[in-house]
Structure 1
Amino acid sequence: MRLLHAVDTRATNPGDATTRTGAHRTGTPWSEGRLLAGPAGRPRILFGRMYEDPAVELAAFPPGSRVLCIASAGDTAAALAAAGHEVTALDLNPAQLAYARARLEGGAPARTGTAERLTGATR
């Protein structure tokens, strides 16, 4: 399984989810990590958890499929990889990717890039 970190390239504007100190942008909540110590010293991610049922995707793909999981470097991506699929998980949050990488046995290669590059939109 490969984990990809997509860099947020959106322009700063008052309507986006940027973190500000005075008039200076310090980053998005995703680039800031948004982690807090949780039970037993384990990090707790400070944004909502989406309910994922890996059984849906496991039933949808034939054995050995190549699967791109967007904004899902979590349970579904790990379940698909464990079932023998070639999985690439893409997420904007570096803290989420680090958490997912730590959960995967043997680790996973990781790269940083933009979503535009992944889709070829910059060509």
Structure 2
Amino acid sequence: VPKFTFLIVGSFGAGNYGMSGRAYSPRFLWMWPNARVSVMGGEQAANVLAQVKTDAGALAPEAADEFKRPIVAKYDAEGHPYYASARLWDDGVVRPQDTRRVLALGLSAARNQPPQQTRFGVFRM
């Protein structure tokens, strides 16, 4: 059964796995322009890193906002769909109004793929 994945908003961490992200080898994985993909959201990552530094005494609480700003900016930039597509992490950025057409092309491609030989025996339950 072919798997097709459209990322339409945020896809972070374990949720990316649960929704058939790249690690589960979907046949196609597309992103909408407003989607984001990352280990976690930038704000959450910045808060965790700031808390660790504050707890270790390496960061004064009043300097936390200044510390977080570049982290959030980095996550925002690297979680962008064009950043992901440029690195071939997905199969392209799709405008929402083109979703149906792109999905139809994907279904056609999957249907016309030659069948693959199975390399395992019968599983008895």
| TM norm. shorter chain > 0.5 | no
Quick one: higher RCO (CA 8 Å, sep 6+), 1 or 2? 1
Higher-helix-fraction structure: 2
Q: TM-score, normalised by structure 2?
A: 0.22
Higher-strand-fraction structure: 1
